[in-house]
Structure 1
Amino acid sequence: MTIYKAIGLMSGTSLDGLDICFAKFWKENSDWKFEIIKAETIPYPKILEEQLRNSIHLSSEDLLALHSEYGFYLGKITNDFIKRNQLSEIDLIASHGHTVFHQPQRKFTLQIGDGRAIKLQTKTPVIYDFRSQDVLLGGNGAPLVPIGDEMLFSDYDACLNLGGFSNISFKINDKRIAFDIAPVNIVLNKLAQELGKNYDENGDLAKKGEINIQLLEQLNSLEFYSLSHPKSLGIEWCNENIFPLFSGIENVDLLATFTEHAAEQISKIFNIHQFNKVLFTGGGTYNRFLIEKIKNKTQTEIIIPEKEIIDFKEALIFAFMGILRLNNETNVLASATGSLHDHSSGIIA
């Protein structure tokens, strides 16, 4: 039996830090199994966090410089993680990178953090840039984690990730489909930060606010929600469609309204597909107020797993995608992204 050991690196749109997950993977009777050995979230230094947050506004030269600088940073942090935890026999590092642009309709997506710089620092094979090939094949370049949902978490009717955006994957007629449902932490965190908090812990700020019915109706009637899948969201979409609606409304009321909006959009999907049980992961799972709202709007059983899976499922799946890529096996599902066909994606350094 071949056992693979891999590190997955994941930086989400909410920029709360770099998720690092070291796990081993093996096959039993053609089914993939995994064990998380060590996982951590490393908060970004304030300067780097600001650089990444504002990267969308940089000149081409400064963006290329940040691409290299962030790659070396990822390499250094990964080296520190390996030494601190005395890890050995690592087959590969799989790095998602930090998304700056995501415009699949124009055939491009950009995740910075040069994989070659990580390779130079760690002396370990690195697989990076998992999304571009899918976009070139006519896909959304997202979501990518459904391959892991399919092969590592098939016990659930659906897998929901509550991160910067909420996305879901599930099977219809033997095909796994996936799509972004609605923005979540990308909006809630920004509103909380304007009130001096990093995020809305437990949804306590939203709980104090009042729902603005007019804004809620505007949000729920946005065109994206009536589009059929596959579909995905990016920060550009929020800048264009969400934030301009917020002027003149108190932040706590915005938090209350947007939390209600996210809960309505998520529970609507659960109810349409009549799921029995759904696995919840991602930082938004700790938002008790949001979770209660979703529970109150659906009969679906919400499964909240151990902290390791909540926090590191995406990093774990990118490590797994790296192993599939190393073996030239399918790691992106066309049924999830809308590309021309299933494929094995990622550049190997």
Structure 2
Amino acid sequence: MTFHALGLMSGTSLDGLDICHATFYKDQAGKWQFQILNAITYPYSDNWESRLRNSIHLTAEDLYELHSDYGFYLGEKVKEFIHSYALENIDLVASHGHTVFHQPQKRFTVQIGDGRAIKIINNLPTVYDFRSQDVLLEGNGAPLVPIGDELLFSEYDACLNIGGFSNISFKKDGKRIAFDISPVNIVLNHFAQKLGKNFDDNGDFARLGTVNDQLIKSLDSLKYYQQSPPKSLGMEWVSENILPQLIAESPINVLASFTEHAANQVAKTLNNYDLKKVLFTGGGSFNSYFLELIKSKTSSEIVLPGNELINFKEALIFAFMGVLRINNEINILSSATGSAYDHSSGIVL
């Protein structure tokens, strides 16, 4: 049986809403196959970008209002997407939502965007809130994409995504290990905006800045980087551990230093686990200076796929997670998140 699914992804870097329409089916050997048919990023308006960025500061009452409003926004964008591509026979919509709080140590994580609103507008089977169950099972609730890496991209030694944060998944001793490596675009975009750009295109600002070796030494020594996986990062951690160290620096020097720091952490991970062939995806994969730095620090082969997969792999995998969920198949791996056991997660409407 072939499933037509839409995957929705909004990353912490706030560049927009990704929607990916893909088909999934099992071949004769029982291996899942996929094909991306349509995909687009809907950039956030200034108003939506501001509302999402400031959501962490809202009162409970206002956050619930945003949860509802954003759910209807997602529903309208799904409707627009379906109309734009004249789609029929969509089997399900799978929505990641937008992360506001992520504190698994306190057993909660919050992704806004009420799936019921998506269902109301489109009258399609909808799956949402993939993370909460894992956190309740004492997992990190992240990263979730390793199930897709395991079942759709097993020809690579590792899959590495560079978005707001860099995260990686790979097989070790027969189990899929995954974790967040370090912040990337969540910091770089913030300081590029101080220089009048939404992001540091190709790392052009970072190339011009001066690297602060003492700052890099301080960042590289943060406790998180010494911890063993499973582990995950959130905006709260960045606000507490990263941003205070960057205040005294000029934006262009922050971009130079933090790009170097993020490259250090990625290369260290590739080297420590002796990963030979690594698939790179996510918006940060277009930062040529960042990739140059990584390549200078590791002998791992970095594989860049086509732009469609670079941009939409996470949305693709959330669509896939929705397919697994409606079939009651495992879509979260405990070896990746640290939860009590593998499970099938997501609220189905």
Fold match (TM-score > 0.5)? yes
Alignment partner, residue 274 of structure 2: 274
SS of the residue corresponding to residue 150 of structure 2 reads helix
Identity fraction in percent: 63
Aligned partners of 2:247, 2:13: CA distance in 1, in Å?
A: 22
Question: SS of the residue aligned with 2:179?
Answer: strand
Instruction: Give runs of aligned pairs for residues 127-142 of structure 1, distance below 5 A.
Output: 127-142=127-142
Runs of 5+ unmatched residues, structure 1: none
Inter-partner Cα distance in structure 2 for 1:273 and 1:62: 44
Deviations for 1:212-244, whole angstroms, at most 9, x for unmatched residues? 011001000000000000000000000000000
Map of 1:160 onto structure 2: 160
Structure 1 residues 287-306: aligned runs within 5 Å: 287-306=287-306
Match of residue 4 from structure 2:
5
Matched, 1:97 2:120: no
Q: Secondary structure at the match of 1:138?
A: coil
Instruction: Measure the CA separation in 2 of the matches of 1:61 and 1:254.
Output: 36
CA distance in 2, matches of 1:261, 1:94: 34
| Structure 1 equivalent of residue 44 of structure 2 | 44
What's the offset of the Cα at 1:8? 0.1
Are residues 1:22 and 2:21 paired? yes
One-letter amino acid of the counterpart of residue 198, structure 2: N
Corresponding letter in the other structure for 1:176: R
1:146 is aligned to 146
SS in 2 for 1:13: coil
Cα distance in 2 for partners of 1:165, 1:248 equals 23
1:250 aligns with 2:221: no
Q: What is the number of equivalent residue pairs in this alignment?
A: 348
C-alpha deviation, 1:276, in angstroms? 1.2
**3-state DSSP of counterpart to 1:179:** strand
Displacement of 1:260 in angstroms is 0.4
Letter aligned with residue 113 of structure 1 = G
Q: How does 1:316-331 map to 2 (within 5 A)?
A: 316-331=316-331
Give the secondary-structure state (helix, strand or coil) at the position aligned to 1:291.
helix
- Map residues 72-91 of structure 1 onto 2, 5 A cutoff: 72-91=72-91
Q: Which amino acid aligns with 1:84?
A: S
Deviation at 1:51, TM superposition (A): 0.4
- Partner residue, 1:192: 192
Secondary structure of the structure 2 residue equivalent to 1:54 = helix
Aligned-residue offset at 1:261: 0.4
Q: Secondary structure at the match of 1:237?
A: helix
Distance 2:160 2:248 in 1: 33
Deviations, residues 165-196 of structure 1 (Å, cap 9, x unaligned)? 00000000110010000000000000101111
Distance 1:146 1:334 in 2: 10
Secondary structure of 1:344 counterpart: coil
Does the alignment pair 1:264 with 2:228?
no
Tell me, in whole angstroms, the C-alpha distance in 2 between the residues paired with 1:72 and 1:292: 41
1:183 corresponds to which residue? 183
2-side partners of 1:248 and 1:142: how far apart?
32
Could you say which residue in structure 2 is the equivalent of 1:202? 202
Return 99-108 or 267-276, whichever deviates more. 267-276
Alpha-carbon distance between aligned partners in 2 of 1:248 and 1:178, rounded to the nearest angstrom: 34
Which residue identity does 2:10 align to in structure 1? S
Runs of 4 or more above 4 Å deviation: none
SS at match of 2:102: strand
Deviation at 1:247, TM superposition (A): 2.2
Report the counterpart of residue 173 of structure 1 in structure 2. 173
Structure 1 residue 248: Cα displacement: 1.8
- SS of residue in 2 equivalent to 1:331: coil
CA distance in 1, matches of 2:273, 2:334: 21
The offset of 1:46, in angstroms, is 1.0
TM-score (norm: length of structure 2): 0.99
CA RMSD of aligned residues (A): 0.5
Query: Using the alignment, how far apart are the partners of 1:148 and 1:248 within structure 2?
Result: 41
